[in-house]
Amino acid sequence: MAAEGVVIVTGANRGIGRALARDLAAAGWPIALVGRSLEKLEEARQDLADETSSRCYAADVADWEQVQGVVEAIQGDYASIHGLVNNAGITKDGLLVRMSPENWKAVLDVNLTGTFFLTRSVAPIMMRQRSGRIVNISSVVGLTGNAGQANYAASKAGIVAMTKSVARELGGRGVTCNCVAPGFIETDMTAELPEKVRADMLQRIPLKRLGQVEDLSGAVRFLLSQDAAWITGQTLVVDGGMVM
Ligand code: NAI
């Protein structure tokens, strides 16, 4: 399925982003790994099938100037940009009545505004190319809400709505924009949850296991592929059947 053009993966130094970079590279795409630490990204790049065609770029996705600089550098390094996977994200959980304005803003800044900054920077390039694939990593929490995650849920629901708007705006230029909404995936982000929360979660998953980072690769690879050429504005839920 080797394809032309680079695929940008944000938050590629660990967790889901790192697995996506590895599995998308194995499918034949050169990867632009984006994250805050060049050193950690370089470590992740060593996992890739053909690491010589992939490069690392340091940026905080919540910083507009850094994002613009990185997208410019990627444009200079590759003939075209095939895909953008907006994966970088954070949580700062807490019940609404205890949530500080700072924790509200920090999560919205990275998850939602970061997704906007990357999309905003890459869209004109994809429009000129008359092709491109944007895949945004939302969450089932953005569809259902979750006690203790008002900030995170709002950011992930915002991504779903932004995806549909971008899909409508860019469709005429051959650019698709879709979401993948993971359920509970075992990563550093979820490692600190109490055992009881994990056990409750497991009870609610018809496929009777928690997700692994590799469980998302197929969905993202599909949305980046030619097979998904006529799919846009959609949210593909990958959660073992928890939300339906
Ligand atoms: P993680 O915490 O292991 O990885 C998050 C990545 O984002 C890290 O590489 C981190 O360095 C990067 N990142 C954070 N802030 C950044 C910033 N300002 N600029 C650049 N990079 C930044 O988390 P995980 O689990 O791999 O999550 C990846 C995505 O999947 C996130 O968007 C998360 O919300 C989403 N997700 C995860 C689920 C799970 O159960 N683990 C469930 C649903 C969605």
Range 40-51 average pLDDT = 93
Tokens describing residue 140: 């089932």
pLDDT class of 192 with cuts at 50, 70, 90: confident
Minimum-distance ligand 1 atom for the alpha carbon of 141: 43
Atom 31 (ligand 1) nearest CA = 89
pLDDT tens column, 50-66: 888 999 999 999 999 99
Tell me the percentage of the chain whose pLDDT exceeds 70.
Answer: 98
62 lines ligand 1 (CB under 6 A): yes
pLDDT per residue as tens digits for the range 156-171: 999 999 999 999 999 9
Confidence band for 72, pLDDT divided at 50, 70 and 90 = very high
Q: Of 51, 152, 183, 216, which one is the catalytic site residue?
A: 152
- What average pLDDT does this structure show over 158-187? 98
For a ligand 1 pocket test, name from 16, 71, 91 the mutation site with the most ligand atoms within 8 angstroms of its C-beta.
16
Q: What local confidence, expressed as pLDDT, does residue 2 receive?
A: 41
Tokens linked to 162? 């932004």
Average pLDDT value for residue range 212-220: 98
Q: What percent of the chain has pLDDT over 90?
A: 94
Rg, Å, the chain Cα set: 17
Mean pLDDT, all residues of the chain: 96
pLDDT at 3: 47
Q: Could you give the CA distance from residue 51 to residue 173 in angstroms, rounded to a whole number?
A: 31
Tell me if 146 CB under 6 Å of ligand 1: no
Residue 88 Cβ < 6 Å to ligand 1:
yes
Residue with CA closest to ligand 1 atom 16: 88
- The SS3 call for residue 86 is strand
Task: Express each pLDDT in 87-135 by its tens digit.
Answer: 999 999 999 999 999 999 999 999 999 999 999 999 999 999 999 999 9
Q: Tell me the average pLDDT across 192-221.
A: 94
pTM, 2 dp: 0.98
Query: According to the model, what pLDDT value does residue 77 have?
Result: 97
- Position 49 scores a pLDDT of 87
Nearest atom in ligand 1 to 88's CA = 7
Alpha helix segments (H runs only) across the chain: 15-26, 38-45, 64-77, 101-107, 114-129, 141-144, 150-170, 188-191, 195-203, 217-224
Q: Residue 128 contacts by C-beta under 8 Å, 6 or more apart in sequence?
A: none
Q: Is 57 a catalytic residue?
A: no
Q: How far is the CA of 172 from the centre of ligand 1 (A)?
A: 31
> What pLDDT was estimated at residue 51?
80
> Is 90 exceeded by the pLDDT of residue 193?
no
**pLDDT at residue 4 is higher than 80:** no
80 lines ligand 1 (CB under 6 A): no
**CA 97, CA 88: separation in Å to the nearest integer?**
27
- How far does residue 33's CA lie from ligand 1's centre (Å)? 13
Pocket probe mutation, ligand 1, options 45, 71, 187, max atoms within 8 Å of Cβ: 187
- Report whether residue 11 contacts ligand 1, using a CB cutoff of 6 Å: yes
* Ligand 1 within 6 A of CB of 139: yes
- Residue 164 is predicted with a pLDDT of 98
pLDDT average, residue stretch 171-183: 98
